[in-house]
């Protein structure tokens, strides 16, 4: 026991205490809008690739989403993969509106809340034979309430920490 204490005493000075304040995440709405737009576009780029490839290797989305959002996305990719489906055409980002932003993360790490509009009308769902599947009841656009949070400590990254559909394409107008 005293040997372990001796080793602990030889490890150097105690680490510095954490800073009492952190630099602001966003100083204004324009900074928040730019960050949310960039991160959500990265999310769509990765998601489009996974969908084009039939839902394989869904873990690629992990670099841009929290575990909770990734789990929901995995379900959609799994349905694509299990059904032998893929997509042609891209989901595109029509616009982002910042609803709230913070100059430091809130208690759950969120730094911004926003609305994002995805245009999905040009995306075709293809069956295993590459034949388009009818989607007559699909809306041309879908709106999402999203939250942007801080990534793992020291990563300097943002993650999409929530993504909830808002009803009606009119919210994308």
pLDDT, position 126 = 96
> In the chain, pLDDT over 90 holds for what percent of residues?
63
Residue 20 domain-assigned (yes or no): no
Residue 65 domain-assigned (yes or no): yes
Neighbouring-strand partners of residue 163: 146
Overall pTM > 0.85: no
Range of the domain at 37: 26-166
pLDDT band at 83 (very low <50, low <70, confident <90, very high): very high
Cα torsion 121, 99, 77, 155: sign: positive
- Report the chain's mean pLDDT, rounded to a whole number: 84
CATH code of 127's domain: 3.10.450.240
pLDDT band at 35 (very low <50, low <70, confident <90, very high): very high
Counted domains in the chain: 1
């Amino acid at each position: 026991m005293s040997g372990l204490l001796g080793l602990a005493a030889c490890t150097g000075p105690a680490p510095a205490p954490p800073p009492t304040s952190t630099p602001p995440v966003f100083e204004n709405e324009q900074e928040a809008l730019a960050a949310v737009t960039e991160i959500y576009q990265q999310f769509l780029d990765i998601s489009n690739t996974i969908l084009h490839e039939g839902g394989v290797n869904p873990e690629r989305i992990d670099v841009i989403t929290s575990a909770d959002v990734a789990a929901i996305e995995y379900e959609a990719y799994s349905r694509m993969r299990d059904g032998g489906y893929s997509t042609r055409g891209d989901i595109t980002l029509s616009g982002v509106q910042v609803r709230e932003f913070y100059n430091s993360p809130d208690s759950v790490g969120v730094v911004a809340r926003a609305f994002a509009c995805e245009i999905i009308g040009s995306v075709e769902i293809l069956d295993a034979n590459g034949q388009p599947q009818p989607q007559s009841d699909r809306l041309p656009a879908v709106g999402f309430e999203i939250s942007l949070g801080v990534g793992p400590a020291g990563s300097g990254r943002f993650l999409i920490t929530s993504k909830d559909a808002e009803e009606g394409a009119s919210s994308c107008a």
